[in-house]
């Protein structure tokens, strides 16, 4: 049974931990508001870009001059998985859910006889995948020094992906990230970016003439579309990370409070038992005299 001093030291330690988790929760809440606003502000642009690209791609899909980013290489033997996670932990299951989805996808492709290459964005995903899929790593993007995610970071990742595609390193590229829904809900998402896949364009009565041509416009817009998809994924991930961290630190703070209450009760009972024992010894000694 722990002594009174041990219990007192443990209560003090848990109280210090609760102060830290409470501070981290407040910091995450402040960052979440900015990250959520950025993610929500980017969605209309991304949706409009998808709508435009959907119309163009449907018009050029059967053309022999369709860009390779749209038509693909004609094969799906080599897959590039771009796994986007956080640089830091203490955010609940945020990183694990992304890694789990990527691992299932990779193992399925390997079982089908496909070649899998993995590009990691964020240290935590690389650490979790290193043990069983480390031999498939082809690159890593480090954003540990970046305070706020911006379009420049998305362009860096997009350029890496596009240069690998131009060099013939893969046939299909898929992004893995968490889509922000709420503080307590982040949706693990796998999104194919190469060959480009867009939702079917809605049927409209208006007809458009493109200059110079659908293929020419697509060749210019498709790299931007890839960068936009990467940027959207990074923003969704940033908001999801802060939401998950805020929720995790709130739970940790509550658990610390519960532990303090239990330890305080145990401390009081032990102290009461020690006092009672001392009184009994005093009374027994007095009666003996």
Tokens of 65: 């001059």
Note whether 35 and 237 are within 8 A (CB). no
The helix/strand count (H/E) of the chain reads as: 6, 5
Rounded CA-CA distance 227/237 in Å is 15
Q: Catalytic positions, please? A: 91
DSSP 192-223: EEETT--PPPPP-S-----SS-HHHHHHHHHH
Count Cβ atoms within 10 A of the Cβ of residue 136 and give its class: 0-12 exposed, 13-18 middle, 19 or more buried: middle
């Amino acid at each position: 049974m722990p002594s009174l001093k041990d219990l007192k030291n443990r209560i003090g330690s848990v109280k210090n931990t609760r102060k830290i988790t409470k501070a981290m929760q407040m910091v995450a809440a402040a960052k979440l508001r900015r990250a959520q606003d950025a993610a929500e502000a980017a969605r209309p642009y991304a949706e409009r870009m998808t709508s435009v690209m959907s119309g163009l791609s449907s018009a050029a899909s059967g053309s022999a001059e369709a860009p390779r980013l749209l038509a693909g290489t004609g094969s799906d033997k080599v897959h590039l998985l771009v796994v986007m996670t956080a640089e830091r932990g203490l955010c609940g299951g945020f990183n694990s859910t992304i890694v789990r989805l990527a691992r299932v996808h990779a193992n399925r492709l390997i079982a089908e006889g496909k070649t899998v290459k993995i590009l990691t964005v964020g240290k935590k995903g690389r650490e979790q995948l290193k043990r069983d899929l480390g031999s498939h790593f082809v690159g890593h993007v480090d954003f540990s020094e970046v305070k706020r995610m911006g379009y420049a970071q998305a362009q860096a990742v997009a350029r890496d992906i596009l240069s690998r595609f131009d060099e013939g390193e893969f046939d299909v590229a898929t992004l893995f990230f968490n889509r922000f829904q709420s503080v307590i809900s982040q949706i693990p998402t796998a999104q194919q970016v190469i060959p480009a896949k867009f939702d079917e364009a809605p049927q409209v009565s208006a007809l458009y003439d493109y200059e110079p041509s659908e293929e020419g416009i697509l060749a210019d817009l498709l790299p931007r579309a890839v960068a936009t998809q990467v940027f959207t994924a990074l923003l969704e991930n940033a908001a999801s990370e802060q939401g998950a961290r805020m929720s995790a630190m709130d739970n940790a703070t509550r658990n610390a409070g519960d532990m303090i209450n239990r330890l305080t009760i145990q401390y009081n009972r032990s102290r009461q038992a020690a006092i009672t024992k001392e009184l009994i010894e005093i009374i027994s000694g007095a009666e003996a005299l």
